[in-house]
Structure 1
Amino acid sequence: MNITFQKNHQRAFGTFPLKGEVLRTAIEAAISAGYRAFDTAQMYGNEADTGAALAESGIARDDLCITTKVGIENFTEATFLPSVEASLKALRISRADILLLHWPTPGGDIAGSLRLLQMAHDRGLARHIGISNYTAAMMRQARAIVDAPLVTNQVEFHPLLDQSKLLAAADETGIPLSSYCSVARGEVFKYPLFAEIGAGYGKSAAQTVLRWILQKGVPINTMSTKPENIRANYEVMDFTLSSIDMGRIDRLMSTGYRIVGKNLVPYAPDFD
């Protein structure tokens, strides 16, 4: 993925768990705010609604970055490519800008699904490919298995969770991270530090959290149905947190608050 492409898509609008009119209205607000990157997945059951909303937006296809993810139920030779083709049809596009494996293959044998992902890329179904919810060890395996560049490992990433091992693996493998659950589904708002730091920059607690993630070198995915929050989540490029404030936030990583684990997703790997 080239540098210009990365810079233009550091902020993506996540669509989970939205559907129908609620999703259409949210995407309309996101487009108005400036978003051009949108994230969906087979698992979300909203690819068709997302595709319809983006098609109706009037934004040129070349200006959009559309990410979708293949679910583990389609990690077979018989179903992988047909499922991707079905996703593209639902999204009303001829290829995905970024196609991800939503989870590592349950059981730990990740080679087969990675080769199928490579095949989708080679057949022109995806401009870029990547992974999601991979551990550091799996990132190293994936880099050895896949010939095409892996442009992201989309993972839970926020200031209440220490993902330093994954950041180190990203540097080692050249597979950048991107975030989901960027504000820890609201858990960050229980910590006054974010509002306190944000006040010094004329920004909100949420904007402070998102800026911290970006300054870690991690693109963000955010979701809201409120136009004012959608716009605020996008407006995080016009300030820079000082190294002192970054350090103050860093200390909260020891909280160890993880949202997405085996309690929520039984086939999740043993995360770092």
Structure 2
Amino acid sequence: MNILFQKTHQRAFGTFPLRHDACMAAIAVALDVGYRAFDTAQMYGNEAEVGEGLARSEVPRQDLFLTTKVHPDNYGEALFLTSVEQSLKDLRLDYVDALLLHWPPLDGDIASPLRQLQRAQDKGLARHIGLSNFTASMMRDARNILDGPIVTNQVEFHPLLNQDILLGAANETGIPLSSFTSVARGEVFKYPQFAEIGQAYGKSAGQVVLRWILQKGVSVNTMSTKPENIRANFDIMDFTLSSIDMARIDALTHTNKRIIGSDLVPWAPDWD
């Protein structure tokens, strides 16, 4: 089974948009709660803080799963490996566990950055490689371009957005999905169904949302600076949503509210 779907790593602590002391403080709480998977990116500008936060911990390196993502501006052959080496220096690591392409390139040529990603893995800079924000058709193309496993496609995934096409591509290609913007930047809390469902399980609305994502076969990235929320986001393995409750939440995906689009990120693709 893919490591991102193992029990200890399918819940990752995301670090965007944390910076400086707030970032390191949140990482300390997350480690204490039990998080062992952490997610950052060159684009976030906080790899040094993430590195310091993890270095302060007594958790052994082999127990951690660290993901970072290459900025599209660094996809060129002259910049790619140099940027990854700088990321490792900032993170105080010899390798990352997963190295992803953060967004598809603007020119649509995914083959070139995928080959650079493979080079980084071949040089031992990353144990696993993967994608982020790739469409279903791009997932199929990536599967044909790369010989080895693709560890994930990290995408916006929450109950207010229908991602059936990407889920289908994940099943077809064997590239599992992982989520970001898992509670739609708070938009899910405008829907009373989540709190109502949570009452039956003794769980919060947010925990119901995250459990729904896991039961869709998608690993979860969450971020908070509040210790009680960090703990709650982690504490989602001791209940299972019924098929009726899953279907009730599934119905909300037709809201089709996308949080991160081309209005915010110029590299955002035209989704299929």
- TM-score band by shorter chain is over 0.9
Q: 1:256 to 1:5 in 2, by over 3 A?
A: closer
Residue of structure 1 equivalent to 2:48: 48
Q: CA RMSD in A?
A: 1.0
Letter in 1 for 2:98: I
Q: Deviations along 1:214-266, whole A, 9 cap, x unmatched? A: 00000000000000000000000000000000000000000000011111112
Letter in 2 for 1:64: L
Residues in 2 aligned to 1:79 and 1:10: alpha-carbon distance in whole angstroms: 31
User: Post-superposition shift, 1:8?
Assistant: 2.0
Residues in 2 aligned to 1:2 and 1:16: alpha-carbon distance in whole angstroms: 24
Letter in 2 for 1:156: E
Counting only pairs closer than 5 Å after superposition, residues 51-130 of structure 1 correspond to structure 2 as 51-130=51-130
User: Post-superposition shift, 1:148?
Assistant: 1.8
Residue of structure 1 equivalent to 2:185: 185
Residues in 2 aligned to 1:114 and 1:6: alpha-carbon distance in whole angstroms: 25
Residue of structure 1 equivalent to 2:34: 34
Residues in 2 aligned to 1:83 and 1:147: alpha-carbon distance in whole angstroms: 23
Letter in 1 for 2:266: P
Residue of structure 1 equivalent to 2:143: 143
User: TM-score by structure 1 length?
Assistant: 0.98
User: Post-superposition shift, 1:207?
Assistant: 0.0
Residues in 1 aligned to 2:26 and 2:96: alpha-carbon distance in whole angstroms: 21
Partner SS for 1:258: coil
Residues in 2 aligned to 1:253 and 1:268: alpha-carbon distance in whole angstroms: 20
Letter in 1 for 2:72: I
Letter in 2 for 1:125: L
User: Post-superposition shift, 1:6?
Assistant: 3.0
On the 8 A contact 1:128/1:151 being kept in 2, the answer is: yes
Q: 1:45 to 1:56 in 2, by over 3 A?
A: same
Aligned residues: 272
Q: 1:2 to 1:146 in 2, by over 3 A?
A: same
User: Post-superposition shift, 1:267?
Assistant: 2.2
Residues in 1 aligned to 2:7 and 2:252: alpha-carbon distance in whole angstroms: 27
Q: Which runs of 5+ in 1 are unaligned?
A: none
User: Post-superposition shift, 1:3?
Assistant: 5.2
On the 8 A contact 1:118/1:147 being kept in 2, the answer is: no
Residues in 2 aligned to 1:54 and 1:127: alpha-carbon distance in whole angstroms: 18
User: Post-superposition shift, 1:42?
Assistant: 0.2
Residues in 1 aligned to 2:198 and 2:189: alpha-carbon distance in whole angstroms: 12
On the 8 A contact 1:103/1:132 being kept in 2, the answer is: yes
Residues in 2 aligned to 1:22 and 1:269: alpha-carbon distance in whole angstroms: 32
Residues in 2 aligned to 1:267 and 1:238: alpha-carbon distance in whole angstroms: 38
Q: 1:41 to 1:93 in 2, by over 3 A?
A: same
Residues in 1 aligned to 2:129 and 2:6: alpha-carbon distance in whole angstroms: 14
Q: Which runs of 5+ in 2 are unaligned?
A: none
User: Post-superposition shift, 1:5?
Assistant: 6.8
Residue of structure 1 equivalent to 2:163: 163
Residue of structure 1 equivalent to 2:13: 13
Letter in 2 for 1:254: H
